[in-house]
Amino acid sequence: MGKAEAGTPKYLANKMKAKGLQKLRWYCQMCQKQCRDDNGFKCHIQSEAHQRQLLLFADSPGKFLHNFSKEFTDGFMDIVRRRHSSKRVKANKVYQEYIACKDHIHMNSTRWLSLSEYVKWLGRSGQCVVDETEEGWYIQYIDRSPEAREAQEKKDRKEKADKDDQERMMEFIEKQVERARKEKGEEDEAKKFTELKRENEEEPLKLDLKLTSKIKPEPVVPMQNLLKRTREEDDKIFKKPKPTTSKSCGKSALDEIREQEEAKKEKQNRKDYWLAEGIVVKFVDRSLGEKFYKQKAVVREVIDKYQAKIKFLETGEKVKVDQSHLETVIPALEKPVRVVNGAYRGSEAVLKELNEKKFCVTIEISRGTLKGRILENVEYEDICKIDLD
């Protein structure tokens, strides 16, 4: 049956049907042909042209699969980069924008079976920051262009300068607190009552009372009345008054300033990456086989914050992995650790106590201006063992 002539109702109907997206199951990626119904698709796969394309695919299936996957990723990431930049966006929304183009590469011709698998691959390859919620998968593009790196370096330098200022401020506050404590201790010692001691016990005790006209003299109490007083009455008269103190005076201004500085440092230094050179990590991915699963390694080099070159301690082999395949290692007590995330990120400390119920530890800063500070309730993920070799 020949094609409908231009301008006829049949021709216009065919044009209207051809607009927009058709069903995915009736699309042939090798021939790049979209069929309108099941019968048309059946006729197409029996055609000679389609059989020739299948022969080409059979010669090198990996090559075609790789090319289709690369084209799909290029188109998908181009939309993420141009339309959403570094904003957090729903993965399904980006996918709908991508397939809006009729000539897009269909996912059933790539190496990924579903959008969830593709999003997980983006996270493992370090192209996006991905997270799963009740509404679905969300992605955030990681811009690795020279301009973005330069802007990030400027931001890091500014944060480092702010951190130095904060450390100086914290040191100044600690000195003020220590000075206030010493002054308070001296006042308390001065206020302590001491026992009355006379140099010469034989001399009579004299009282020099200077009364003004405004004060009326108390009436003289007879001696027999004084003798009738009980011991309880005497204790009540001569008992020392207890200083009145409030049970909860609240936090001092210095404590509030210190807590605010701690919260500010925590907000600035809490990142989604934690890798650092010289730490001991554990490989928790089975992609390299059971031989390396749960094996410890040393981070030799950090690449773009999210990837690292590691060296296995047992075999000595070196590989390049993503941080999602690694986890921190907790050493024995009194061993050195590095704070890899949080307010004290980058500081070196000593492990003092381990709380397995709360999954946290207590450490003591061992270097820098904050040396000697005790940090409690530090989570396992925020510290890591240091390689001493």
* Tens digit of pLDDT at every position of the chain (389 positions): 567 777 787 777 776 666 555 666 677 777 777 777 777 878 887 888 777 777 777 777 777 788 888 888 888 988 888 888 888 899 999 988 888 777 778 787 788 888 889 999 888 888 888 888 888 899 988 887 777 777 777 887 887 777 777 777 888 888 888 888 887 776 666 566 566 666 666 666 665 655 555 555 555 555 555 445 545 555 554 444 444 444 444 567 777 887 888 888 888 888 888 999 999 999 988 877 788 888 999 999 998 888 999 998 888 888 888 898 899 999 999 999 999 998 888 899 999 999 888 889 999 999 887 888 888 889 989 999 998 87
- Rounded to 5 degrees, φ, ψ at 361 are -135, 170
Please report, for the domain that includes residue 383, its CATH number.
Answer: 2.30.30.30
Per-residue pLDDT at 227: 47
State residue 23's pLDDT score. Answer: 63
22 and 104, same domain (yes or no): yes
pLDDT at residue 384, as a whole number: 94
Residue 277 lies in a domain: yes
The enclosing domain of 293 has a CATH number of 2.30.30.140
Pick the last residue of a domain from 290, 313, 329.
Answer: 329
Domain total of the chain = 4
Residues shown for the chain: 389
Pair (352, 290) in one structural domain: no
β-strand partners of 283: 326
pTM over 0.75: no
Which residues form the domain of 152?
144-179
Looking at the structure, tell me whether residues 318 and 347 fall in a common domain.
no
Read off the pLDDT of residues 54-82 as tens digits, 9 standing for 90 and up: 777 777 777 778 888 888 888 898 888 88
